[in-house]
Amino acid sequence: MANKILRKLTGITLSAVLAAGMLVGCGGGAAAPAADGAADASAPTEAAATEAAAEASSDAGSDAAASGSGEMLTIFNSKMEIQDQMEAMAEKYSEEKGVDVEVYYSSDTVAAHLSTRYASGEPYVLSMVDAKDIYSLAAEHALDLSDQDWVKDTSSAIAVDGKTYGFPVCVEARGVIYNADAIKAITGKDFVPADYATLDAFSALLDELKAGGMETPVGIMKEDWSLGAHYLAEVYEQREDPDAFVKALNDGSQKIEDDEKFNSLMDTFDVLKANNYAAASAISAEREVTEQKLAEGEIAFMFGGNWDWSVINAYDYSENMGIMPVPQNTSDGTNEKLVGGGSKYFFIDSSDKVTDGQRQAAKDFLNWLVYEEGGQNFLVTECALVPAFSNITLAVADPLGASVKEYADAGKLIDNYNYLPDDHYAVLGAAFQKYLADQSDRAGFAGEIDKYWTSATLAEH
């Protein structure tokens, strides 16, 4: 009899240990993907499934419990370079305004990360996303912000079907970043970007720099987003009607190789490529190394945007840097303008997982950014962003941002084209890398672009 009880007890203990073991295992697994959006193909299904496990074990996913409480304002930040500032701001804001602010960051693709949060039923109250995400998310997930005061003070807000959904975080623009000090050290003259707007003048300057001892004055980022989404995209953007052009590429009536703008920009790219410091290993050049060389004046030019400041300022940078339009032999004025506009947008979640109180807290936060000194300071001084609101007059702290603001204030910005298909940058970025590595010529590259567009599905808008 005693034996029997003993055996039963052992059995219960064993199975309890087993169950506890399983739960501990799951608890760890549940917390991880929610917190950092583990780069895993099955992440959303995992997150959905582990919800069940999270209910069973009380210690799993502490942030899951937190996001459900009271007036917690959860903010998703997708700008890695301002995460530290965001966290410091959250602490200060919480103290001053009595609203609990939590800031999250993920290095995942924005859409991928948000989809895991939606799959697990824990959306952020306020999410910072890219323009194209607003178009795909707005109708179902975003709150209509048309009645907010700040709408009248910006030209960059995103509206879909007449309703404003996206709050522009900042203005960003692309062009050729230059190191004026490095140029002056060789030419002896102050560098005036406007003098080198044409490719001929620009090439002559490169030759002068080379003669003066800077053997390779240019750096090229090999990243597919830089080549595909930033440089190649200018081919679509630097024209009257990008939509019509893309549609023509899509139905095959326009071949990219016949396009003047494509050839003009590729002519410039050829000059950049010929002067690339990493010509022999163009596609293994590391971004940090390139930007360090630019910052320290070993090279003088690199195609990029004002976001590159977050990399450059990690090094011993020169005082006088800035962004100029991509030089081209053209008379259409595009070589006097940067390409860019609003970048990164906040939207407020409209689902029933978020309370009206939380939504109000998010609206207050956005107004704080635009209209209160603390918010303006945070955006412009602490994060060194170029504000997208006309009422903010604070001077932009970093030289690249100051350049962009100058062009923006003068109305010399060509708008971003936000409707490229999602796989555009990856597929054509890879084709562009081949061109950069001399594994295909211009005709081959153009052929790949034509082929891509004729089989692409255009984003609806």
Partner 1 sequence: MDKTKMSYKVSQFLMFAGPAVILFCGTVIIPFIYGLYLTFTSWDGVSKTKPFVGLANYAASFSDTAYWQALVRTVIYSAFSVILINVVAFLLAYLVTSGVKGQNFFRAGFFIPNLIGGIVLGYVWKFVFNRAFVAIGEAISGGTVPSLLSTTGGAMFCLILVSVWQYAGYMMLIYVAGFMSVPESLKEAALIDGCTPSQAMKNVTVPLMRASFVQCIFLSITRCFMVYDMNLSLTKGEPFNSSVMAAMHVYNQAFTYKNYGTGQAEALILFVVCAIVGVTQVYIGKKGEVAA
Interface residue with partner 1 among 252, 430, 438, 451 (CB under 8 A) is: 430
458 binds partner 1 (CB under 8 A): no
Find out whether 271 and 202 touch, Cβ atoms under 8 Å. yes
Interface residue with partner 1 among 173, 321, 383, 427 (CB under 8 A) is: 427
Integer Cα distance of 211 and 213 in angstroms: 6
Interface residue with partner 1 among 225, 426, 444, 454 (CB under 8 A) is: 426
Shortest distance, position 182 Cβ to partner 1, whole Å: 22
386 binds partner 1 (CB under 8 A): no
218 binds partner 1 (CB under 8 A): no
Integer Cα distance of 114 and 94 in angstroms: 24
Using the minimum distance from each CB to partner 1, give the nearer residue, 347 or 389: 347
49 binds partner 1 (CB under 8 A): yes
286 binds partner 1 (CB under 8 A): yes
Interface residue with partner 1 among 35, 63, 121, 136 (CB under 8 A) is: 136
Using the minimum distance from each CB to partner 1, give the nearer residue, 296 or 332: 296
| Strands 163-179 and 338-348, bridge-based pairing | antiparallel
14 binds partner 1 (CB under 8 A): yes
41 binds partner 1 (CB under 8 A): yes
Side chain identity at residue 151, one-letter code? V
- Residue at token pair 């293994």: 284
> Considering only residues 115-134, where is the footprint of partner 1 by CB under 8 A?
115, 118
3 binds partner 1 (CB under 8 A): no
Q: Which of 186, 188, 180 is nearest to 209 (CA)?
A: 186
13 binds partner 1 (CB under 8 A): no
32 binds partner 1 (CB under 8 A): no
391 binds partner 1 (CB under 8 A): no
Reported residue count of the chain is: 461
Phi, psi torsion values for 338, nearest 5 degrees: -85, 160
The full 3-state SS of 123-186, as one line of letters, equals CCCEEEECHHHHHHHHHHHECCCCCCHHHHHECCCEEECCEEEEEEEEEEEEEEEEEHHHHHHH
Phi, psi torsion values for 367, nearest 5 degrees: -65, -35
Q: Which of 285, 286, 289, 283 is nearest to 429 (CA)?
A: 283
Q: Which of 347, 449, 360 is nearest to 73 (CA)?
A: 360
Find out whether 418 and 131 touch, Cβ atoms under 8 Å. yes
Q: Which stretch binds partner 1 (CB under 8 A): 33-41, 82-90, 315-323, 362-370?
A: 33-41
Find out whether 224 and 426 touch, Cβ atoms under 8 Å. yes
Site string for partner 1, 243-282 (x = CB under 8 A): -------------------------------------xxx
Site string for partner 1, 88-117 (x = CB under 8 A): --------------------xx-xx-xx--
Integer Cα distance of 261 and 414 in angstroms: 14
Find out whether 349 and 143 touch, Cβ atoms under 8 Å. yes
Interface residue with partner 1 among 6, 9, 24, 52 (CB under 8 A) is: 52
Using the minimum distance from each CB to partner 1, give the nearer residue, 33 or 341: 33
358 binds partner 1 (CB under 8 A): no
Find out whether 218 and 275 touch, Cβ atoms under 8 Å. yes
Integer Cα distance of 328 and 334 in angstroms: 8
Shortest distance, position 15 Cβ to partner 1, whole Å: 5
> Which residue ranges make up the site for partner 1 (CB under 8 A)?
11-12, 14-15, 18-19, 22-23, 26, 29, 39-42, 44-46, 48-50, 52-53, 108-109, 111-112, 114-115, 118, 136-137, 140-141, 222, 224, 280-284, 286, 421-423, 426-427, 430-431, 433-434, 437, 439
